[in-house]
Amino acid sequence: MTFHVMLIPTLDCPSNCSYCWGSKKGSGMMDIEVIEYVTKWLENFKDESVHFTFHGGEPLLAGYGFYKKALPMLTQNNGYENAGFSLQSNLWLINDDMSELFHEYDVAVSTSIDGPKELNDFQRGKGYYDKTMAGYDLLTSHGVNVSFICTFTSHSIKYYEEVFDYFAKNGYNIKLHAALPSMRGDNADSWTISPKEHGDLLVKLFDKYLENLDNLSIKDFDHFCKSVFIRRGTLCTLANCLGSTFAVGYDGSIYPCYRFNGMPEYVMGNVYDTPSLEELMDTDAWRKIQDFNDFVDEDCKKCRYIKFCRGGCPYNGINSNIEHTANAVDPHCEAYKMIFKDITDKINKEFLTGSLGIPGMPTPNKSVDSTKKKASVMDLMNKL
């Protein structure tokens, strides 16, 4: 098992994406001493491997000097020598030194682009696309693996085919996001898409994905299918993330996830106090997320997808009612049901037509399958 620690050097960000729900101008900046205490906190915390993700705001605002010290510190911590690293950034501040360092530490980088330049800059701001793609070119020239997050908004959803074709044509691997409302303000509200729109989008994109399996990977569909097969969520949104994910803010505060970063009522502790798991569990912030899990156990108990959905994301569920209490599942439940149904219907159809195989084994009737334009769910499973 691997647990996940998100490190948030700052919530500040130089870009001004219209629908951003998470950044905060003028936020403080993490001192390298916080990383030193992260290693102390984790020393005897869990007997599992750890994956660190640098997130923001914009994590590259911390600068080369921060990462030059932080990456070796985090790998030299007792028991976490095999730590993995990811970074989520708009890449505007990347340079040769950072690219080399990220290559040396095998940091998996993800950036955000919402499709072709004109569409992207309409919702993320003029000049965004060119700056981010310059960063992409620099990092890939240093051998760093870069993937993309594509956010669908009330605007870009109208152009979903163009957006898909853009990523497929360029062979970029992506993760999909639906624009979300924020707990911190209402600027993002007009950009959000409804659960029904989200579900329709997922079903349509999944068909396009199966027609283009050789051209790109869409992580969400890989996880949705895998989760249906093994009947356990393999993506945080489809699993119980409490206790397997933590986020550390710039001042050392520990949160359940980066989505709660900067919200005092979700602070579980601070790395300077090196709290044990038991101490974090004995906090109001932990209990709020546990309340969500308890609500899901009751409210979703008759749902056929509960084992690999687990009520979706607690942040979305808690944020969906004005009191921010745990009395609702993730409102995108409707979208999850639509895509899970589509996947299971496809698997059942493949079973009935005899094209279902076992992952890792050659697909039966391969000679027939290879002439099909659209791949099957089993073809996707065999690819993973």
Q: What does the binding site for ligand SF4 look like in residue numbers (CB under 6 A)?
A: 236-237, 241, 245, 257, 259, 300, 303, 305-306, 309, 311-315, 329-330, 333, 336-337
Shortest Cβ 338–ligand SF4 spacing (Å): 9
CB of 333 to ligand SF4, least distance (A): 3
Q: Which is nearer to ligand SF4, 183 or 356 (CB)?
A: 183
Instruction: Rank residues 214 and 298 by Cβ distance to ligand SF4 and give the closer one.
Output: 298
Nearer to ligand SF4, 288 or 346 (CB): 288
Smallest gap from residue 241 Cβ to ligand SF4 (A): 3
CB of residue 97 to ligand SF4, shortest distance in Å: 31
Provide the β-strand partners of residue 86: 53, 108
The residue among 99 and 240 lying less far from ligand SF4, judged by its C-beta, is 240
Q: Which is nearer to ligand SF4, 91 or 300 (CB)?
A: 300
Q: What is the 3-state secondary structure (H, E, C) of the chain?
A: CEEEEEECCCCCCCCCCCCCCCCCCCCCCCCHHHHHHHHHHHCCCCCCEEEEEECCCCHHHHCHHHHHHHHHHHHHCCCCCCCEEEEECCCCCCCHHHHHHHHHCCCEEEEECCCCHHHHHHHHCCCHHHHHHHHHHHHHHCCCCEEEEEEECCCHHHHHHHHHHHHHHHCCCEEEEECCCCCCCCCCHHHCCCHHHHHHHHHHHHHHHHHCCCCCCEHHHHHHHHHHHHCCCCCHHHCCCECCEEEECCCCEEECCHHHCCCHHHCCEEHHHCCCHHHHHCCHHHHHHHHHHHHHHHHCCCCCCHHHCCCCCHHHHHHCCCCCCCCCCCCCHHHHHHHHHHHHHHHHHHHHCCCCCCCCCCCCCHHHHCCCCCCCHHHHHHHC
Q: Smallest distance, Å, CB 104 to ligand SF4?
A: 28
Six token digits for residue 91: 């890449």
Comparison of 51 and 259: residue with beta carbon closer to ligand SF4: 259
In whole angstroms, the minimum distance from the beta carbon of 82 to ligand SF4 comes to: 22
Residue located via tokens 């360092």? 101
**Whose Cβ is closer to ligand SF4: residue 66's or residue 305's?**
305
Shortest approach of ligand SF4 to residue 242 CB, angstroms? 8
Closest CB to ligand SF4 among 191 and 258? 258
Shortest Å distance, C-beta 110 to ligand SF4: 14
